[in-house]
């Protein structure tokens, strides 16, 4: 199973840890598993905000 479909392997492992009920099924439906390190979700890009008069010394 590991070589044939690694996504199913992870999904099966996670499914076994989920609560067995409507909430567990809802949480599992939101799970996204990707084979490899490439995925369409971008990381956050924080920006520095400077304050001239913050009042903190």
- DSSP secondary-structure letter at 25? H
Phi, psi of 6 (to 5 degrees): -65, -25
d(CA 32, CA 11): 9
* Strand (E) or helix (H) holding 12: helix 6-17
pLDDT tens per residue, range 6-37? 899 999 999 999 999 999 999 999 999 988 88
Q: Does pLDDT of 2 surpass 80?
A: no
What residues does each domain of the chain span?
1-38
Spell out the alpha helix ranges (H) of the chain: 6-17, 22-29
- DSSP secondary-structure letter at 41? P
Q: Does pLDDT of 56 surpass 80?
A: no
- Whether the model clears a pTM of 0.75, i.e. scores above it, the answer is no
């Amino acid at each position: 199973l590991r070589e044939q479909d690694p996504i199913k392997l992870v999904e099966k492992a996670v499914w076994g840890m989920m609560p067995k009920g409507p909430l567990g099924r809802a949480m599992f439906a939101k799970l996204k598993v990707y084979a490899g390190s490439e995925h369409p979700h971008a990381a956050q890009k924080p920006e520095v905000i400077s304050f001239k008069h913050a009042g903190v010394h």
